Amino acid sequence: MVWMIDAKRKHDWQLASTLVWITAEVNRDRKRRRKPFKPDDFNPCVTTRTVPAKASVEQVASLLGAKFTKANR
């Protein structure tokens, strides 16, 4: 029963975010905002995962102010 309620909530938010997206996209100032909106920009149910930054051990050590040598491995 809970999964049905959750699915209904997500569906309702998808519909609402689509309407808000269309309104925002029509009224978007293309000079100030070159990147178009997406419906997911207005949907709080959509979660985006951040991609972790790729860094080497040497880069992390330099950020921390530590000296890294091959012998430390």
Does 36 fall in a domain?
yes
How confident is the model over 41-73, as pLDDT tens digits? 999 988 877 788 888 888 888 888 887 777 645
Across the range 6-11, mean pLDDT stands at 92
CA separation (Å) from 42 to 15, 19, 21? 11, 9, 7
Average pLDDT of the chain to the nearest whole number: 88
* pLDDT above 70: percentage of residues in the chain: 96
Kindly provide the b/e burial profile for residues 17-39, where b requires at least 16 CB atoms within 10 angstroms of the residue's own CB. Answer: beeebeebeeeeeeeeeeeeeeb
- Considering the chain, what percentage of its residues have pLDDT values greater than 90? 55
- Specify if 6 maps to a domain: yes
Question: In total, how many domains does the chain have?
Answer: 1
Would you say residue 44 lies in a domain? yes
Which residue segment(s) compose the domain that 8 sits in?
Answer: 1-48
Q: Is the pTM of this model over 0.95?
A: no
Q: Look at residue 49 in the predicted model and tell me its pLDDT.
A: 73
The answer to whether residue 22 is domain-embedded is yes
Is 26 part of any domain?
A: yes
